[in-house]
Amino acid sequence: MAKLPEVARVYQNYSSRGLMVIGVHDASSTPEQVAQALRERNIPYPVMRDTDARDTFLRYRIVGIPHLVLVGKDGTILADGRSLKEMERLIQQELGAP
């Protein structure tokens, strides 16, 4: 969860231009623990709880957390598994700099 504030910053910078962020948390914590951690970190975007994270990790080839996927307006995956810095650069290209 250490990177969540950085993701929140990018979301806040670009959400007015159409960026949507959806977080996914595994089920290792209770819903209450997740909600508390999100409040403490002031996370403004929705986060769902994945009760079968092992299957999700395998299907999407997730090897680290956070794992970022950038999906274009047309539903095409523009980038997968890149650093937040790289993703932000791509977001700027797609949506324009803030």
Which listed CATH number (3.10.270.10, 3.40.630.10, 3.40.30.10, 3.40.50.800) goes with 4-95? 3.40.30.10
Which pLDDT does position 21 carry in this prediction? 92
Which pLDDT does position 66 carry in this prediction? 80
pTM for this prediction: 0.80
pLDDT tens for 46-94 read 988 888 877 877 887 887 778 888 988 888 888 988 999 999 999 999 8
Tell me, what DSSP letter sits at residue 75?
Answer: S
The pLDDT-based confidence of 11 (bands split at 50, 70, 90) is very high
Which pLDDT does position 88 carry in this prediction? 94
Element (H, E) at 69: strand 69-71
How is the chain split into domains, by residue range?
Answer: 4-95
Q: Where are the alpha helices (DSSP H) in the chain?
A: 4-14, 31-40, 53-59, 84-95
What is the rounded average pLDDT of the residues 17-26? 88
